[in-house]
Amino acid sequence: MANPDSPDRPAQPAGGKKPQGPGRPAPSRAAAGRSLLWLGLITLLLLLVWSPFLTAGDPTEVPYSTFRAQLEEGNVARVTVQGLKVEGTFVEPVDRTIPRPGDDDEETVEVDEFTTWVPAFGDDELFALLRAQGVEVVTEPESDFSWWLVLIYAVPFLFIVLLMVFLYRGMASQGQQMSQMKKSRARAYERTDEATTFDDVAGQDGPKRELEELVEFLAEPGRFEKLGGEIPRGVLLVGPPGTGKTLLARAVAGEAGVPYFHVSGSDFMEMLVGVGASRVRDLFQEAKKEAPAIIFVDELDSIGRRRGAGLGGGHDEREQTLNQLLVEMDGFEPNLGVVVIAATNRPDILDPALLRPGRFDRQVTVDLPSRKDREAILRIHARRKPLHPDVDLDEVARSTPTFSGADLKNLLNEAALLAARREREDIRSEDIDDARDKILMGLERENLVMSDEERRLLAYHEAGHAVVAAFVPETDPIHKVSIIPRGRAMGVTQQLPQRDRYIHSQEVLHDRLAILLGGRAAEELVFDTRTSGAADDLQRASRLARQMVTSWGMSEKFGRLAPGSQQEEVFLGQDIAQRREYSEATAREVDQEVRAILDRAFDRARDLLVEHREGMDALVDHLLEHDEVSGRRVMELLGAPMEDAGSEGQSEEEAESEETETAEAEE
């Protein structure tokens, strides 16, 4: 017997209506009429096809000459004349030789009754001869019936009838499609044994508490209502992509003991104006029938964008859909017992009327996980994956500071695929390291062949980054330096943070600028040239320095003034371009200050390279020999304090065979 809670069971449609079973429905009048029409048409065609064979039992046709000879001999007893057709009976049977069907031979048969045809030129002596022989003559009028006439007149009539039937069916189907188009596409959630619960959601303790309270309110409303509490109309989950907003909604569905409808914002949109609003009405009507109930709308920004925005004006269908959603959530009529949970990663473009209390009373931020949360997420995703004892999930969490929950799941999945490709029984640290390199920087470009001069220049570029990173005070430890091309990066100097940073001081940012410009400084110091390999470094450094001046007040000239302004999205229609709140003279001073900050960072990086030139040359030799050097070995070659090195101490030989953990690509 099939398990009713099986996850393969299709979701029940909104409103609790079960799909019709496989039984044959009773035929309608229209279906019966169509069946009779087709039956008549088939019968007519069969008559037309088989009409020659229906006369198989008629009298045998004989030549007119044979008939005339037998008449002259007095062997004709009776004839019936109908036009040119003559049928009759012989007194004595006459032998008639006819060919066999499908054979070259002939056979002789005795003919009692015959049929023949008077020649078209006529026979003036026939009637006199019949009278002379005393033959009984019967005449009949010539028949006007013809199957071809039936075909000529019936086929156009049948064609018109069929055309009308098809047009009627098309109009009926269009009416059904229009009625179905206005129905909500929300799917009712059915809890199964493998349903997601809050135990499957790691981290995000604040959002979990908010949603757990919502589930408790729906399960025991009296406990809150006795203190005057009211159920929230809506909960908006806000956060970057992949942080677990939809996962939290699935957990609510698994925990809630009330009907749960889930739909995407794009499911409301159609070409025809008014369809989206009709679907919103139908969705809330179905939810009210099952109240208390929960509605989950994923990607709310697809229908909740600010009204009247956009360079080309508003979108009528989306705005009508949004208007209907606003009315259903908090309009003239109360909407008791229906809670809306929505998710979006673009709260800045939502209509203000949608965000006010009474509609979305709570806005829950689902942010990127912390290091502790990342470790918990990794443990959940590693439940069904065999990990080697050398895998330290805490170290993996430390090396993935910018990863979301979806990124961490993808990391372990890529590691599992790599381990299976290498025919291993479990997942090792090397597999996770390689998977992280693949995600952050892309695949190794094995077919890329560089000349010795290019490899040497690349090695000095990465060594310049490493030297500056090793001797500036406010920076993260070096984990690995590599000149193996991956994706769009020709090389990389990787640093792993000891902890997550949420506030960056001015000293940290200046050190960061010096590290970014260390590669260009090495090129000019050693080769007295500039290459395109520093393009990404220069862009990131320029962007960072401009933010320091225009947004964070880290400039001596401007002090606490932040001449920058928040950039508006162009498609919102508020400003076609970024609005500037300062004059052209101030803009020139901003450019000068940004250039001054970058020049100071470059001079600082160049001074460090000159001071530690010997260590940089030694690091370059090792890079050219091994392509990759671990962070601890880098610190040894540069003579930097060992406590600043990465947590994993690999020897030079180990670095040849095993990939270490990756962080941010510098190129």
Question: Could you tell me the CA-to-CA distances from 448 to 243, 443, 445 in Å, in that order?
Answer: 36, 12, 6
pLDDT at residue 47, rounded to an integer: 63
**Is the confidence at residue 352, as pLDDT, over 90?**
no
Question: Could you tell me the CA-to-CA distances from 154 to 44, 148, 151, 311 in Å, in that order?
Answer: 9, 10, 5, 61
Three-state DSSP class for residue 456: helix
What is the DSSP code (8-state) at residue 302? G
Q: Which two tokens stand for residue 231?
A: 């159920």
Average pLDDT estimate for 648-665: 37
Mean pLDDT of the chain: 77
Q: How far apart (Å, rounded) are the C-alpha atoms in residues 453 and 620?
A: 12
pLDDT tens track for 456-492: 999 999 999 999 999 998 888 888 888 888 877 788 8
**Is the confidence at residue 517, as pLDDT, over 90?**
yes
Q: How far apart (Å, rounded) are the C-alpha atoms in residues 625 and 257?
A: 64
Provide the pLDDT confidence category of residue 541 given band limits of 50, 70 and 90: very high
The backbone torsions φ and ψ at residue 519, rounded to the nearest 5 degrees and listed phi first, read -65, -45
**Is the confidence at residue 50, as pLDDT, over 50?**
yes
452-657: CATH topology is Methane Monooxygenase Hydroxylase; Chain G, domain 1 (1.20.58)
Average pLDDT estimate for 176-189: 57
Average pLDDT estimate for 28-35: 59
pLDDT at residue 650, rounded to an integer: 42
Most confidently predicted of 47-61, 237-251, 345-359, 600-614: 600-614
CATH number of 187-365: 3.40.50.300
**Is the confidence at residue 144, as pLDDT, over 70?**
no
Provide the pLDDT confidence category of residue 652 given band limits of 50, 70 and 90: very low
Q: Where are the domains of the chain?
A: 55-143, 187-365, 371-441, 452-657
Look at residues 374, 365, 373, 323 and name the one whose alpha carbon lies nearest to residue 344.
365
pLDDT tens track for 327-338: 888 766 666 678
**Is the confidence at residue 119, as pLDDT, over 80?**
yes
Per CATH, 55-143 and 371-441 having the same topology is answered no
Average pLDDT estimate for 406-420: 91
Average pLDDT estimate for 243-271: 78
pLDDT tens track for 285-343: 888 888 788 888 888 888 888 876 554 444 577 778 888 888 888 766 666 678 888 88
Q: Concatenated DSSP letters for 540-609? A: HHHHHHHHHHHTS--BTTTBT-----PPPPGGGTS-SS----S-HHHHHHHHHHHHHHHHHHHHHHHHHH
What is the DSSP code (8-state) at residue 163? H
What are the residue numbers of the active site? 462
* CATH architecture of structural domain 55-143: 2-Layer Sandwich (3.30)
pLDDT at residue 306, rounded to an integer: 80
Cβ burial of 61 (10 Å; 0-12, 13-18, 19+) is: middle
Average pLDDT estimate for 561-589: 62
Torsion angle, alpha carbons of 510, 512, 513, 515, to 10: 130
Helix segments in 106-244, DSSP class H: 126-132, 147-181, 205-219, 221-225
**Is the confidence at residue 649, as pLDDT, over 60?**
no
Look at residues 565, 520, 518, 524 and name the one whose alpha carbon lies nearest to residue 546.
565
Q: Verify cis geometry, omega within 30 degrees of 0, for the bond prior to 99.
A: no
Provide the pLDDT confidence category of residue 16 given band limits of 50, 70 and 90: very low
**Is the confidence at residue 660, as pLDDT, over 50?**
no
**Is the confidence at residue 14, as pLDDT, over 70?**
no
**Is the confidence at residue 509, as pLDDT, over 70?**
yes
* CATH architecture of structural domain 371-441: Orthogonal Bundle (1.10)
Q: Which two tokens stand for residue 244?
A: 């677990």
- pLDDT cut 70: percent of the chain above it: 75
